[in-house]
């Protein structure tokens, strides 16, 4: 039996039932090849084999080669492939979770994933400092050959995936709706880049609109794909909390980003840390935990000495920004320079690609 | 018997002569006023009757016809009370009007015979002088305002009784002598830059805006001091010249804003965002000047710019371009001056806290994008500087000594304005903000470094195309403030920082 065929059977089973292994457990427990099941579907007493009543009809009706092939061809024309649970491309760790999806709809290529996988999640409305931290962490992980898994949601998810791409790594976005539905819409460019350099996956058939109830289910796939889950920011009642709980159930390792100050909007990391979850200080926290070595000290932008060609004031200002984001006003005060001079220096640094302007008259080091 | 008194009328800021003709005939006691008079004039017969009676004069018992000529122009307001009263007295033989040759008379009467102030006196006097009128009898309270017109003898009138005494020669007329015109220098405690703590960047940007005649948009969270900054701007504008003052005073006179004599301070007007188009631009059934004309030669401050109705903002484009606004209505087309500096402010996002370090903002990029798109591109392109104003920190509010005073900032502004005036002599423009067409090449030439910087800014910072000329203009002004004839790379670099809204983080895709 070719794997092509096999995939078709899995697709049949997934698309006619709830889609998870757990949902079809009784059926899969039968001493019967999937192929045989498929051929006999119309004759067998499926209900006696443990199939739920509502799935019997679809299973019978859809047990037809030409129909399934036509559907798969339709997906292929839109650049969407099916990866079945027994396929090599299917993420190994995901296969082990209780409610593993029987098939994944994929845009891009899951073979691009490396063995080192880290899932990163957070809130859709993050604080700016956390966006920077998350992006930086993902970038450095990617440089060490880690594939970052996230949900491409607004906020920290997107920040993590952008960071991974900047670090030259692959990244997987697990979507709640169909893989052909770009949500949120402002992430179109990110979406396209992930198709090019990583993979977009979903258990929902193509065309599925991103409905709220899909996301908590989607989260179990994000945590299920990697051994490590990094929680950036979130509320104890948020989706991130659901993901963290699922990760625990799946016996994954959880890491939390250290919150800068107490913030009722962002109490998930602190409550996780309280319960014994390790704090991510930097990329090495994760690398060491898995024996992936440590990141070499790179001649990074952080070390001002390695940035050459700066005049005195540029260097002084840049060093100030290394300590954190600052407003023009604050820079004027620390450097004792008039507004015009500071503006000039900021523009020069900005044009050199070293710093970036942020909303609210803030400037920060470019990540 | 027929009596004639000359008075004045107004269309927009243009005056015209009105002949008040009164004829008294035998018949049933009755008064009729003809000549396209509005309700205020129709009602004047009651005021006139009481005023005459209460001034120890006799109200004639006969048939009285009042005609306001020319009969085809609509007349409005109560300013014809006094001329009508004089006409009635003359027509009934109680008074001779010989003393009114070459004179005009205007004023509203109170029931006890006192003369009350009326609106629009200054433009009427300007017109009267142009027509060769020698004397004007105006309400005492309007005397100061009217007296600034040279070559016109202004006689203040306090009451009908006094007016009659003047004409009978029982009293001698004493013309008002105007105070010499002087700009009022003290901006007052709430509008001096010295009291604005911190905000050095914003203050500097405002200084540049004023120096080059640029419009400016302040973006910041609530409580960041945007309104305070805007209120202080008139105090660093160059002093009002007499000609400018006269122009503003005319508008204020017509809209009834005038308090004493002549406007001595650059006006600051901040209409509420619920203002109607007619209120802001001018118009209404009487084609009145709008707030933008009242702000002429001063500052028009639009707080919460995004809350204004879109069509109201769009209507600002033409006056911003021309410095004059044409108000066209069914019965008249009127031009009002509208040469103001636009200062606008807004929040960075619907909740107001985008970019604030408190991290309160939970607006999505989509929401921010929708919020900002309420301001149209064409309007935005008339605003040369947009800057973000952060909330001052507590330490700043408590500790710091006073800032630089408005007077000292104004000296720099004036020097920069003078440079521009000399440079653009013969070009028909006064400030950098008015540069257009070929003048850019002539006056905003960049050296190699400057050009390189600007090009790099466009590719690296993704500035929009419309930003290009704006940056050049602002760089020109920064150079002028520093007393440099050539624009250097440093000036360009600074100007780039004042184009905040061109940055991609505004409602675009994140970094």
Residues B151 and B248 in one domain: no
- Convert the pLDDT of each residue in B260-280 to its tens digit: 788 888 899 999 999 999 999
- Helix B467-481 and helix B406-423: axis angle, to 10°? 110
Q: Which helix (H) or strand (E) holds B503?
A: none
Average pLDDT over residues B381-396: 83
Question: Using the beta-carbon criterion (under 8 Å), do A357 and B503 form an inter-chain contact?
Answer: yes
Residues B236 and B325 in one domain: yes
Question: Using the beta-carbon criterion (under 8 Å), do A329 and B200 form an inter-chain contact?
Answer: yes
Helices (runs of H) and strands (runs of E) counted in chain A: 16, 12
Is pLDDT above 60 for B509? no
Is pLDDT above 60 for A302? no
CATH code assigned at B122: 3.30.230.10
Between these two residues, A76 and B367, which has the higher pLDDT value? Answer: A76
Q: What is the DSSP code (8-state) at residue B78? A: G
pLDDT at site B400 = 59
Residues B147 and B38 in one domain: yes
Cα–Cα distance measured from residue B431 to residue B226, given in angstroms and rounded to the nearest whole number? 25
- Helix B160-168 and helix B81-91: axis angle, to 10°? 50
> 3-state DSSP call for residue B178?
coil
- Convert the pLDDT of each residue in A215-237 to its tens digit: 999 999 999 999 999 999 999 99
Cα–Cα distance measured from residue A364 to residue A321, given in angstroms and rounded to the nearest whole number? 6
Name the token pair of B284.
């209404």
Which residues in B lie closer than 8 A to residue A184 (C-beta atoms)? 364, 366
Which of B350, B388, B500 to mutate: most A Cβ within 10 Å? Answer: B388
Q: B359-385: string of b/e by CB count within 10 Å (b at 16+)?
A: bebbbbbebbeebbeebeeebbeebbb
Question: Using the beta-carbon criterion (under 8 Å), do B387 and A350 form an inter-chain contact?
Answer: no
Using a CB–CB cutoff of 8 Å, tell me whether B464 touches chain A: no
Q: How confident is the model at residue B33 (pLDDT cuts 50, 70, 90)?
A: very high
Residue where one domain finishes, among candidates B400, B420, B440? B420
Range from A324-338, B403-417, B440-454 that averages highest in pLDDT: B403-417
Q: How confident is the model at residue A292 (pLDDT cuts 50, 70, 90)?
A: very high
Between these two residues, A185 and B465, which has the higher pLDDT value? Answer: A185
Average pLDDT over residues B446-453: 87
Percent of chain A residues past pLDDT 90, beyond the cut: 61
Is pLDDT above 90 for A328? no
Least confident window among B209-213, B321-325, B328-332: B328-332
Residue where one domain finishes, among candidates B379, B401, B420? B420
pLDDT at site B47 = 95
| Cα dihedral A190, A195, A196, A198 sign | positive
Helices (runs of H) and strands (runs of E) counted in chain B: 21, 18
Question: Using the beta-carbon criterion (under 8 Å), do B201 and A343 form an inter-chain contact?
Answer: yes
pLDDT at site A304 = 44
Q: Is residue B383 in a domain?
A: yes
Cα–Cα distance measured from residue B263 to residue B424, given in angstroms and rounded to the nearest whole number? 28
Residues B228 and B319 in one domain: yes
Q: Is residue B448 in a domain?
A: no
Q: How many domains does chain B have?
A: 2
Q: Is residue B143 in a domain?
A: yes
Using a CB–CB cutoff of 8 Å, tell me whether B502 touches chain A: no
- Convert the pLDDT of each residue in B48-70 to its tens digit: 999 999 999 999 999 999 999 99
Is pLDDT above 90 for B441? no
Mean pLDDT value across chain B: 89
Least Cα separation, residue B137 to chain A (angstroms)? 56
End-to-end CA distance of chain A: 50
Average pLDDT over residues B458-464: 77
Residues B333 and B236 in one domain: yes
Is pLDDT above 80 for B330? no
Which residues in B lie closer than 8 A to residue A131 (C-beta atoms)? 510
| Cβ(B1)–Cβ(B89) below 8 Å | no
Q: Is residue B269 in a domain?
A: yes
Residues B148 and B221 in one domain: no
> 3-state DSSP call for residue B360?
coil
Residues B205 and B144 in one domain: no
Which residues in B lie closer than 8 A to residue A130 (C-beta atoms)? none
Cα–Cα distance measured from residue A314 to residue A321, given in angstroms and rounded to the nearest whole number? 11
Residues B145 and B6 in one domain: yes
Question: Using the beta-carbon criterion (under 8 Å), do A338 and B204 form an inter-chain contact?
Answer: yes
Of A263, A344, A358, the CB nearest to B505: A358
Average pLDDT over residues B416-445: 89
Domain of residue B116, residue span: 2-168
Mean pLDDT value across chain A: 90
Question: Using the beta-carbon criterion (under 8 Å), do A362 and B355 form an inter-chain contact?
Answer: yes
Beta strands in chain A (DSSP E): 81-84, 103-108, 117-121, 147-150, 171-174, 199-202, 228-231, 253-257, 279-280, 326-327, 355-358, 362-365
pLDDT at site B365 = 77
| Cβ(A69)–Cβ(A55) below 8 Å | no
pLDDT at site B185 = 66
- Convert the pLDDT of each residue in A197-220 to its tens digit: 999 999 999 999 999 999 999 999
pLDDT at site B508 = 47
Which residues in B lie closer than 8 A to residue A187 (C-beta atoms)? 509
Is pLDDT above 90 for B434? no
Which residues in B lie closer than 8 A to residue A357 (C-beta atoms)? 461, 503, 505
Of A127, A328, A357, the CB nearest to B359: A127
Cα–Cα distance measured from residue A105 to residue A204, given in angstroms and rounded to the nearest whole number? 7
Least confident window among A147-161, A198-212, B78-92, B311-325: B311-325
Residues B206 and B354 in one domain: yes
Is pLDDT above 50 for B449? yes
Residue where one domain finishes, among candidates B168, B184, B208? B168
| Cβ(B376)–Cβ(B313) below 8 Å | yes
Which of A347, A352, A356 to mutate: most B Cβ within 10 Å? Answer: A347
pLDDT at site A173 = 97
Average pLDDT over residues B290-311: 93
Q: Which residue of B has its CA nearest to A353?
A: B460
Q: Is residue B488 in a domain?
A: no
Residues B153 and B245 in one domain: no
Residues B91 and B131 in one domain: yes
Residue A201 pairs in a beta bridge with A106, A174
C-alpha closest to that of B280 among B291, B269, B272: B291
| Cβ(B233)–Cβ(B244) below 8 Å | no
Provide ipTM, 2 decimals.
0.71
Q: Which helix (H) or strand (E) holds B328?
A: strand B324-328
Least confident window among A295-309, B312-326, B417-431: A295-309
pLDDT at site A305 = 46
Using a CB–CB cutoff of 8 Å, tell me whether B377 touches chain A: no
Q: Is residue B88 in a domain?
A: yes
pLDDT at site B505 = 67
Distance from chain centroid for Cα A224: 11
C-alpha closest to that of A196 among A188, A207, A208: A188
Q: Is residue B87 in a domain?
A: yes
- Convert the pLDDT of each residue in B478-488 to its tens digit: 999 999 988 98
pLDDT at site B186 = 66
Average pLDDT over residues B221-235: 90
Residue with tokens 């078709």: A8
Residues B224 and B143 in one domain: no
Range from A46-50, A157-161, A303-307, B494-498 that averages highest in pLDDT: A157-161
Q: Is residue B381 in a domain?
A: yes
- Convert the pLDDT of each residue in B121-131 to its tens digit: 999 999 999 99
CATH code assigned at B216: 3.40.50.300
Question: Using the beta-carbon criterion (under 8 Å), do A360 and B496 form an inter-chain contact?
Answer: no
Name the token pair of A321.
């920004």
């Amino acid at each position: 039996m070719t794997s092509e065929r096999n995939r078709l059977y899995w697709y049949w089973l997934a698309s006619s039932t709830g889609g998870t292994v757990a949902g079809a457990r009784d059926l899969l427990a039968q001493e019967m090849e999937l192929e045989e099941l498929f051929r006999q579907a119309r004759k067998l007493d499926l209900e006696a084999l443990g199939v739920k009543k509502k799935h019997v009809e679809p299973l019978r009706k859809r047990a037809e080669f030409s129909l399934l092939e036509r559907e798969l061809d339709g997906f292929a024309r839109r650049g969407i492939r099916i990866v079945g649970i027994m396929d090599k491309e299917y993420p190994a760790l995901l296969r082990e979770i209780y409610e593993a999806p029987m098939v994944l709809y994929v845009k891009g290529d899951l073979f691009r994933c490396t063995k080192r996988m880290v899932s990163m999640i957070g809130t859709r409305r993050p604080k700016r400092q956390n966006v920077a931290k998350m992006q930086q962490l993902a970038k450095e992980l990617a440089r060490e050959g880690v594939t970052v898994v996230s949900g491409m949601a607004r906020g920290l998810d997107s920040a993590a995936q952008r960071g991974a791409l900047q670090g030259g790594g692959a990244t997987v976005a697990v979507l709640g709706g169909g893989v052909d539905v770009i949500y949120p819409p402002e992430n179109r460019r990110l979406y396209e880049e992930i198709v090019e350099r990583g993979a977009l996956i979903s258990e929902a058939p193509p065309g599925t609109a991103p409905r709220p109830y899909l996301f908590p289910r989607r989260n179990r796939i994000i945590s299920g794909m990697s051994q490590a889950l990094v929680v950036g920011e979130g509320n104890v009642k948020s989706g991130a909390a659901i993901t963290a709980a699922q990760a625990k159930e799946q016996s994954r390792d959880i890491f939390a980003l250290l919150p800068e100050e107490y913030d009722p909007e962002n109490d998930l990391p602190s409550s996780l840390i309280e319960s014994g979850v390790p704090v991510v200080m930097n990329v090495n926290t994760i690398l060491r935990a898995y024996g992936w070595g440590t990141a070499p000290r790179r001649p990074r932008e952080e070390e001002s000495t390695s940035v050459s060609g700066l005049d005195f004031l540029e260097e002084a200002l840049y060093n100030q920004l290394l300590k954190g984001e600052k407003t023009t006003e604050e820079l004027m005060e620390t450097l004792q320079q008039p507004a015009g001079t500071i503006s000039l220096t900021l523009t020069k640094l900005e044009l050199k690609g070293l710093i970036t302007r942020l909303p609210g008259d803030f400037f920060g080091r470019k990540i | 018997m027929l009596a004639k008194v000359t008075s004045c009328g107004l269309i927009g800021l243009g005056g015209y002569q009105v002949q008040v003709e009164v004829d008294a005939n035998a018949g049933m006691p009755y008064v009729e006023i003809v000549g396209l008079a509005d309700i205020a004039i129709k009602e004047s017969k009651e005021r006139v009757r009481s005023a005459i009676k209460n001034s120890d004069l006799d109200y004639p018992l006969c048939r009285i016809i009042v005609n306001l000529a020319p009969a085809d122009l609509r007349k409005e307001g109560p300013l014809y009370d006094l001329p009508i009263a004089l006409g009635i007295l003359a027509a009934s033989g109680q008074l001779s009007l010989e003393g009114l040759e070459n004179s005009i008379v205007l004023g509203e009467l109170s029931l006890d015979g006192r003369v009350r102030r009326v609106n629009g006196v200054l433009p009427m006097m300007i017109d009267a002088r142009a027509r060769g009128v020698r004397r004007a009898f105006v309400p005492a309270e309007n005397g100061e305002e009217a007296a600034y017109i040279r070559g016109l003898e202004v006689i203040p009138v306090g009451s009908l009784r006094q007016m009659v005494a003047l004409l009978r020669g029982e009293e001698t007329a004493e013309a008002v002598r105007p105070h010499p015109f002087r700009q009022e220098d003290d901006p007052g405690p709430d509008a001096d830059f010295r009291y604005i703590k911190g905000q050095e960047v914003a203050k500097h940007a405002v200084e540049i805006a004023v120096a080059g005649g640029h419009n400016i948009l302040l973006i910041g969270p609530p409580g960041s001091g945007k309104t305070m900054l805007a209120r202080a701007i008139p105090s660093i504008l160059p002093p009002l010249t007499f000609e400018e003052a006269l122009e503003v005073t005319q508008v204020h006179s017509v809209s009834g804003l005038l308090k004493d004599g002549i406007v001595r301070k650059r006006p600051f007007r901040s209409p509420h965002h619920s203002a109607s188009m007619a209120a802001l631009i001018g118009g209404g059934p009487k084609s009145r000047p709008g707030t933008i004309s009242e702000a002429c030669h001063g500052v028009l401050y639009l707080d919460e710019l995004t809350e204004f109705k879109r069509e109201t903002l769009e209507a600002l484009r033409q006056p911003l371009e021309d410095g004059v606004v044409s108000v066209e209505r069914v019965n008249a087309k009127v031009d009002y001056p509208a040469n103001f500096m636009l200062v606008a402010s807004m929040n960075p996002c619907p909740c107001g806290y985008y970019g604030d370090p408190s991290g309160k903002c939970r607006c999505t990029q989509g929401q921010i994008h929708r919020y900002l798109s309420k301001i149209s591109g064409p309007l935005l392109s008339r605003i040369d500087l947009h800057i973000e104003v952060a909330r001052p920190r507590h330490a700043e509010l408590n500790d710091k000594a006073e800032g630089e005073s408005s007077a000292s900032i104004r000296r720099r502004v004036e020097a920069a304005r003078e440079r521009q005036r000399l440079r653009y002599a013969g070009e028909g423009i006064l400030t950098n903000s008015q540069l257009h067409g070929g003048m850019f090449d002539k006056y905003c030439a960049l050296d190699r470094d400057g050009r390189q910087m600007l090009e790099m800014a466009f590719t690296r910072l993704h500035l929009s195309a419309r930003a290009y000329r704006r940056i050049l203009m602002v760089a020109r002004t920064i150079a002028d403030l520093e007393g440099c004839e050539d624009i250097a790379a440093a000036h360009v670099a600074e100007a780039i920082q004042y184009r905040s809204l061109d940055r991609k983080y505004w409602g675009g895709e994140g970094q």
